[in-house]
Structure 1
Amino acid sequence: MASLLATVLVHAALILAWQLARTAAPGQAEPENSFMQWVQLPPSVPESRPAPAPPREDASQPVRRGPVRPTRPRPAAAPADAATPATTESAPAPAAAAAETPARPSAAEILENARRSVAGIDRALRKESKPTIVAPPDSPEIRMRQGMEQAHAMAPPRLWEAPKVEELVNNTGDGARRTRVITGRRTYCITERSTATNVEMIEMHGKIRLTNCPGPETPAKRQEWRTARD
């Protein structure tokens, strides 16, 4: 019986110790977080002390005057360290502004620039205004074709065909109109006198007459216009 009681007591003691071990010990109060903040104070301005009063001289003693020395101006009190960079930066501002301001051109320079501009504009206009009419293309093939066309125009038609009638360009300058007629038998020209011809000449010889065709005169040709941009 005593051994059973001892066993129960031992088990009870073990259980109590185990329960005490499970419960955590109360934690210590954590100290509050403390921090430190550094504050930068502005530099202090030196106080200007009043100049000491000159000593009073007795009226009884004679006044001794020494050599007059030129007084040098005292340098101004140095500003605070914080204001020094601003003064240093603002000092070259007038010089920089004067350097950036361009000098006004004189009247001679303005006239010279105007002449140069006019010359450039003239060259540009000349390049754009190329001659619109140039010589027509020429080659041996083109000349051979023109010769064949002229020979075909001068060939007389057959007897049963209509005559070829072409107006010639008058090179004499008298104002007469001349028309060439090519038939199967012969070739002749019909010349109509100019309106400026004397009335007596027209009455005596007539206004229209049949003449031979001059060799240099040819019919009007179609002008082959060709521009420089083609």
Structure 2
Amino acid sequence: MSENVVKKTSAYVWFDAEFTSLNLESARLLQVAAIVTDTELNRLHPESADLNLCIKLPDGESVSEWVEENLPGLVKQCRSAEAVTLEEADRQLASMLDQYAGTPYEAISGRPVLAGNSVHNDWVLMRRFLPEFGSRLHYRLLDVSTLKIQWTDIRGGAAFDKDSVALLDQYFPAGGINTANAHDALFDIKASIAELAYYRANLFAH
């Protein structure tokens, strides 16, 4: 009788995006960020290779009132010369996966999994605007929000505090978090990685 071979996920692609609107039907990308880790949540690349890109807002393109009010700095960056096109962002994300996750894989089973908090929202816009990046990903998603719900409902634990720099630094592999920056895509990724590490240490510990 042949033994069943358990094949681990090849990599986690931690991804977060900021949008022009909370309405996903009409939203466009404002910012994308990515970190690639192994299944133990350790980076597969140096920190300097973390990706954090502002997407160019086309002339005349508006953003929602909420975004204008809460993300003015990001909107300004997206209207500046440092912003990149969607096509360039797609190319850089795909290149990152090719270099650090060994993509593209011909078999879907070998592809890395997109990971993050409520990452299904990011998945929707990724599929619409980042086809090369999306073509390198597994159809499965690793959504930390699922464990957040289980932590609350089963264990009765208080929500993971993403504003606590000490907590983030404690659980983010290798540490190095010394400030909180909500609604920044790269910070949100690091917070999600730390949150998953927290649940792994506490939810599954007993």
- Indicate whether the TM-score tops 0.5: no
Q: TM-score, normalised by structure 1?
A: 0.16
Structure number with higher strand proportion: 2
Structure with bigger RCO (C-alpha 8 Å, 6+ apart): 2
Structure number with higher helix proportion: 2
